[in-house]
Amino acid sequence: MLTTSERIAFVLIALASLLLTAHGVSRIVRAIARGQGRPTWGLFFRRVIPVSLDILLQRPIFRTRPLVSALHAGVFFAFVFYGLVNILDLAEGFTGFSTLHRGGIAALYNLIADLLSVAALVGMVGLLVRRFGLRPFRFNERVFLLPSVRFGISRDSAIVGGFILLHVGSRWVGQAVRIAESERADWSQPTASLVAALFHGWSEAALTTASHVTWWLALGLILAFLPYFPYSKHIHLFMAPLNLILREERPLGQLEPPTSSNGALGAERLEQLRWYQLLDGYACIMCNRCQDVCPAHGTGRALSPAALEINKRYYLNRNLGAFAGGATSPPLLEIATTKEAVWSCTTCAACVRICPVGNRPMLDLIDIRRALVNQGDPLDPNLQAALESLARYGNSFGKPARQRARWTKELPFPIKDARKEPVEYLWFVGDFASFDPRMQENTKIVAQLFHAAELDFGILYEDERNTGNDVRRVGEEGLFEMLVEQNLAALEKAQFRAIVTTDPHSYNALRNEYPAYGFQVPVYHYTELLADLLERGRLRVQQPLTAAVTYHDPCYLGRYNRITAAPRRILHALGLELREMPRHGENTYCCGAGGGRIWMDSGGQERPSEQRIREAVALGEDLRYFVVACPKDMAMYSDAVKTTGYEAQLTVIDVARLVAMAVGINGLERESISVTTEAP
């Protein structure tokens, strides 16, 4: 029990501490409220229970790094339970009430507290050893970091880690002292009882002093830490759940239109970001998982999604009073990231998917692009040429629209004009599949397969335009809208039941972006249709294939739209041996072409597609095919397999071509036979 003067001191310090903390929290709330838009609070009531359950089970954290996640779970569970522990310890200090040596529920409480204290201490020591001993948190030298960040991350981690160790450790040792005072072990606190042996032979006075000191170190420390808490990464305790709960219900593949302030589109400055993008900074725990999966960072480019969030928070914390009070922030390109980083994003959404606290750094990058494009900032010349071509001809190839369906002339049968007669499936072919000479062969094969399966399908001929998926992600919203309008006008002329696309990017736009413009039609990817046609016997395998293959999930198919089973069903139906790369399914690695990157210069640096080919080659020398289901992948990997020198060993092939080989289409049977004989 505390002395009267101790009690008065505690209450006074607590008041001061709470006031300071409230001041900090209110400034942060006002800073976040300067972001655009407002949360939908209705979501809170709907989501609070399911999201809390997710968090209690630590699901978002266990997506990767199992060992580190287990250490975190120890600290996390202890912290949740310590809410109760701290209240009871407070009551003990003020009233003398004690759970020591009691049976029943009190014993259970003590047991849990005892074990979780150890879990927290082990977890925290493990995490600190990792952070300061193994130093896994590095940024490549091109990543922009605010000067305050370089030292700040370590200091913040040391303070938070030290606080947890001291707080939990003092409470644990304090229990040991109290057990020693009682002169007998408490079976419900096995570890504290062991520590109590250390105090064997201490005088009563010494033990009383130790009891007071440990109490103050456990609970008084909270008061000392509390005012710092809002500015520390520890605030993720509240901000992360809030971020996950209030996240608006929108498919990953659908962007919000750009924010507009005084006619300026996108985000040039902090206050032009949306409220949740500011919240992201405070939810970030600096775990760098996003950076680990980022294909831009992975190939040495200046982009680190983690650094972006960390910079945002450090800038805000350093200028919180002014910003919360309405001061204009400097441009994001001076405080958060660089132009090079912004333009190296492939919008693969790996960072969004992996983030345990629900952050979406990719959206910031797109919003900065929107601002740059709108201000007329000079663009990569190839990108500019692509956009100008898209505006003029509806494709990025600089070819007249009239040539879009030229590939159909080389087919032995006509393809229905969906504008003139009703069809069951409208095939939205896409730019690369229509115009790129390397892709046209595959496109003809897909047409032959559809034809052989007697599918009722047609195309829009010269009225099809690029869907604008990547145009939107480049930040050219006006051009995106124009392409949507043109496509909708063309689609309106046609009668069909569903759409099938070749390109996952078209798929994503038609499936997720176009509904916002009133277009609601079932959309399928051609792999879904081919899988179905094979399984229902409308395409029959004449000659099973026996090669070992691997399959690359396109970001916009596998991660964005979770279509991972259909292509694998096809490979299975053809009899191929599928070997998975370590990164597959929703966890796939980007080829580097998305978000308009395919139109930009790679700057002579290593490309993600080259890393990916090496990942495939590591699956075995007998791996024969690198199977793709995206025309852009075909382009990227056909290049990468050459530049990495594996062209003789590994063939990049579209899944449709494999189907054609197995079912026997258009003279490809012979090729299939040679495969079967060569395969081991």
- Kindly list the residues in this chain that would bind other proteins in the complex (CB under 8 A): 265, 373-374, 376, 378-379, 381, 384, 387-388, 391-393, 398-400, 402, 476-479, 481-482
Closest approach of Cβ 377 to other proteins, in Å?
A: 9
C-beta of residue 342 within 8 angstroms of C-beta of residue 307? no
Taking the C-alpha atoms of residue 597 and residue 128, their distance in angstroms, rounded to an integer, is: 38
3-state secondary structure of 578: strand
Closest approach of Cβ 38 to other proteins, in Å?
A: 25
Which of residues 352 and 373 has its CB atom nearest to other proteins in the complex? 373
Which of residues 325 and 398 has its CB atom nearest to other proteins in the complex? 398
Which of residues 431 and 476 has its CB atom nearest to other proteins in the complex? 476
Closest approach of Cβ 399 to other proteins, in Å?
A: 7
Closest approach of Cβ 133 to other proteins, in Å?
A: 50
**Phi and psi of 443, rounded to 5°?**
-60, -40
Token pair listed for 171: 């409470």
- The DSSP annotation for 601-651 comes to --TTS--HHHHHHHHHHTT-TTEEEEEE-SHHHHHHHHHHHHHTT-TTT-E
C-beta of residue 363 within 8 angstroms of C-beta of residue 278? no
The amino acid at 445 = I
Taking the C-alpha atoms of residue 357 and residue 388, their distance in angstroms, rounded to an integer, is: 39
Which of residues 399 and 451 has its CB atom nearest to other proteins in the complex? 399
Which of residues 197 and 489 has its CB atom nearest to other proteins in the complex? 489
**Phi and psi of 548, rounded to 5°?**
-90, 130
Taking the C-alpha atoms of residue 434 and residue 406, their distance in angstroms, rounded to an integer, is: 8
Token pair listed for 87: 């209240």
Query: CA nearest 522: which of 556, 499, 506?
Result: 499
Closest approach of Cβ 384 to other proteins, in Å?
A: 5
Q: Helices marked H in 263-338 — which ranges? A: 275-283, 289-293, 295-298, 305-318, 320-324, 332-335
Which of residues 391 and 679 has its CB atom nearest to other proteins in the complex? 391
Taking the C-alpha atoms of residue 89 and residue 217, their distance in angstroms, rounded to an integer, is: 12
Closest approach of Cβ 14 to other proteins, in Å?
A: 55
Which of residues 399 and 579 has its CB atom nearest to other proteins in the complex? 399
Closest approach of Cβ 466 to other proteins, in Å?
A: 13
Closest approach of Cβ 344 to other proteins, in Å?
A: 19
Which of residues 330 and 381 has its CB atom nearest to other proteins in the complex? 381
Closest approach of Cβ 477 to other proteins, in Å?
A: 6
Helix axes 42-56, 236-246, angle to 10 degrees: 120
| C-alpha 117 chain-centroid distance | 32
Which of residues 470 and 477 has its CB atom nearest to other proteins in the complex? 477
Taking the CA of residue 202 as centre, how many other CA atoms within 13 Å lie in the half-sphere pointing to its CB?
A: 21
